[in-house]
Structure 1
Amino acid sequence: MTTKAPITQAMVLAAGLGTRLRPITDTMPKPLVPVAGKPMIDYGLDALADAGVTRAVVNVHHFADRMEAHLAAYPRLDIVVSDERDQLMNSGGGLKKGLSLLSAGIVFVMNADLFWIGETPGKSTNLQRLAGFFDPAAMDMALLCVQLEHTTGHNGKKDFQLDSNGRLSRYVDGDNPVVYAGAIVMQSSLLLDAPDDAFNLNIYFDKAIEKGRLYGLVMDGEWITVGTPDALPAAEAVIARHTEKA
């Protein structure tokens, strides 16, 4: 199951308020909070560029002017801003609005505040593997997932159960729980029937599960989320360990 060409388009969800990260986010947007000296969003933007993406839409709301300035200076991608200053659209509404600024086709979707480090040098990156895994005939969405023991800063919640065929269901019980790692491959047409106002993307996860069309791929490396200020030292310690190894 491989795509015929690299995926060159992406949507990055970056418009959240980051309220749990206060007081840091009282003075800056969450995606620009530095983790080990690098703005959080740049980990994801770099991963997209490394995977062959050339054009990305990023939605903005909180400290939108600062986000726009940062994105305009980011060197590796052609970035288009989806402006949500007037109304936050939640994950699903923000994605639908952003996809309208891209060409129809297969796209990556990324969360701006979740990232990973420690991929195996010389092997395909996590996003390249996810692109190759995605089969539009069988899947509505392919989600990058991570096992709990490879997470830092996570609250321990098990999001999905991954079966032996790679199919995902909501976690109730089972021996292969995984956490959603914040990256998706999907056809942009999936959201053509979606409402134009705010809604949560989880609705489409559940629709895909009902049809047996939500699939997951376990990522390589260590996954990091920084939800609160006290999560920063742990995140930076993991990054430092991997930097020393490299």
Structure 2
Amino acid sequence: MNVNDYIIRQKATIMDALRQLNKTQTFTLFVVDESERVVGALTDGDIRRGLINGCSLETDVFSICLKSFRYVDRENSSPQKIAELRRLGIRLIPYISEEGKIEKLIDLQKTKGLLPIDAVLMAGGRGERLRPLTDDTPKPLLPLGEKPIIEYNIDRMAGYGVENITISVHYLSDKIKAYFGNGERKGIRIRYIDEDKPLGTLGAVSTIRHFENDVVLVMNSDLFTNIDLEEFYLHFIESEADMAVASIPYNITVPYAVMQTSDGLVRAFEEKPTYTYYSNGGIYLIKRSIIEELNEGERCDATDLMQQLIDNGRRLTYFPIVGYWIDIGKPEDYKKAQEFVKYIKK
């Protein structure tokens, strides 16, 4: 979205605004002064009311624009704020800098949230179990419908307002870098870290020093899921966690009646009960301060950190994924995902 298409000078006329609205096929423009600071919002409704009240087509837009307009900024863009704007039926909202200038425009019909997090995607694996498919193509770039596996995850993150993504690469890394570049095509910033040797899930993360937010999302790139990242983040914040792990419910049904016993006696029966356990889903939210405590460049798996947090009395929580989740590690998993993607709405 080109911000300049939605900006109009405060001295421009109503006729100028009508031409611009017609050209961009939008219903809202943002009025700026000589210093590029936003001073109002202008809709086609404001123009109609101005003309009804006697304004001419040569009247300047500042005279009729809404001076008390809605916007978001770094301190005022919480999930609750975005939900409120949606309830009000607002589609286009400006993100304002400290200087009062528009940094970007957010289409609330396309953007699900503005999460204040950085993200890391782990994409360095060889994909041995998927050979020969991965002999010339890194597993994250294997096609799934109309795009590669990893691109679904990047697009999901971008859809929740995540703008700073780092991809950890190793095997056939040049192909991943060539495909995504610096992320400009998707309106985000993508950086890369090269793993010279396997460092585990979080060993590579420990080497990153360019995080911009206090919370970091870490995710395996070969997952195919529709996890609600906003709900995951809200759970993380509300539970005051140091780390949260997305979890997959795993049900086990016992095909017999189970006896409940004590002191050598049968106290009750439970007929063919089902027990639910929660498995690690390979998606984590972690405080940046926790990552900074890791030994830089040393091997560290997510389970190592989780155990360390438990041992030290820190807060480790879990978030059950409601929706689909496929770990594409084996040929049968890849085939399952290829079939499943056919039925997902674009």
Q: TM-score, normalised by structure 1?
A: 0.76
Distance change (3 Å), C-alpha of 1:52 and 1:104: closer
Q: Residue in 2 aligned with 1:236?
A: 338
- Decide whether the 8 Å contact of 1:10 with 1:107 is kept in 2: yes
Would you say 1:11 and 2:120 are equivalent positions?
yes
Query: Residue deviations 1:20-70, cap 9 Å, x none?
Result: 111111111111011223211011111111111011111110001101111
Partners of 1:114 and 1:191 in 2: CA distance? 22
Partners of 2:182 and 2:141 in 1: CA distance? 13
**1:220 to partner: Cα distance:** 2.3
**1:7 to partner: Cα distance:** 2.1
- Which structure has the larger Rg over C-alpha atoms? 2
Q: Residue in 1 aligned with 2:168?
A: 59
Q: Residue in 2 aligned with 1:161?
A: none
Unaligned runs of 5+ residues in structure 1 are 118-124, 150-173
Q: Secondary structure at the match of 1:239?
A: helix
1:79 to 181, 190, 211: 190
Q: Residue in 2 aligned with 1:31?
A: 140
Would you say 1:132 and 2:234 are equivalent positions?
yes
Q: Secondary structure at the match of 2:207?
A: helix
Code of the residue aligned with 2:169 in structure 1: it is V
Greater RCO, 1 or 2 (C-alpha within 8 Å, sep 6+): 1
**1:133 to partner: Cα distance:** 0.8
Q: Secondary structure at the match of 2:229?
A: helix
* Number of equivalent positions: 210
Partners of 2:314 and 2:294 in 1: CA distance? 19
1:183 to 283, 300, 303: 283
Partners of 2:249 and 2:239 in 1: CA distance? 27
Unaligned runs of 5+ residues in structure 2 are 1-77, 81-113, 252-273
- Decide whether the 8 Å contact of 2:250 with 2:276 is kept in 1: no
- Decide whether the 8 Å contact of 2:232 with 2:319 is kept in 1: yes
Q: CA RMSD for the aligned pairs? A: 2.4
Distance change (3 Å), C-alpha of 1:189 and 1:3: farther
Distance change (3 Å), C-alpha of 1:73 and 1:135: closer
- Decide whether the 8 Å contact of 1:57 with 1:80 is kept in 2: yes
**1:136 to partner: Cα distance:** 7.9
